[in-house]
Amino acid sequence: MRRSKKRFKINKVLWVLVFLTALTLLSLPRWMAYFYPQPHQELVYKYSQENNIDPNLVFAVIRAESKYQTRAESPEGAKGLMQIMPETGQWIAGQKGVNDFLVASLHDPEVNIQFGCWYLASLKKEFGNNLPLFIAAYNAGSGTVRSWNEGGIWRGDLDEVDRIPYRETRNYVKNVWNNYQAYKSIYK
C-alpha cells in the first residue's frame, strides 16, 4: 500500500511538472515580448503600411540598429532608431519631395521611421522581394549587394549567408533575420 501511495505522489508531481512546462512554453511569446518591445508602435504601423513593409521587419531593424534608442548615432554618422546615414536621409528627402529636410531630424522618431520604411520598400522593390538581399543592402548599400548578387558571390540565400564578404553585413543579416523571426512569433 505504501508503495502505491509513493508512486501516486511521484506521478502527481510529474504531471504538475508537465503542466507547468507546457504552460510556460505556451506563454513564452508573452514573456519574450519584454526583450522584443514595439516602441513607437503607431508610427511603425503607419509607415510600414504606407510602404507595404511588414512592421515586424521594421521592429527587427530598429532592434538591430539602435536597440530602440532615438538618439543613437554610429561612429560612421548613422542616426536615430533605424540608423540612417545623413547622405541617405538627404537622398530619401529628395525622392519624397521633402524640401526642408535637416539631418538633425533623423533623431525624430517619426522622420526616422518614415524614411526607414520608405528606404526598406525601395530596397525591397530593387531586390525583387528577396528579404535577405534587401536586409543586406540596408547595411552594406544596394550597389555592393547588387555586385555580390550579379557576381555570384551571394545571391541572397540564407543557407549561404556565410558567403557574404563583409563580416559586419553577415552578422547584421543573421541578427535582423533572428529578430524578425522572434517578432513574428511573438506578435502573430
Catalytic site positions: 65
Q: Contact at 8 Å (CB) between 10 and 156? A: no
Q: Which residues contact 32 (CB under 8 A, 6 or more apart)?
A: 182, 185, 186
DSSP codes of every residue in 147-175: HHHHTTS--S-GGGGGG-S-HHHHHHHHH
Residues 178, 36, 114, 95, Cα dihedral to 10°: -10
- Give the C-alpha separation, 129 to 148, whole Å: 17
Q: Which residues contact 182 (CB under 8 A, 6 or more apart)?
A: 32, 35, 36, 60
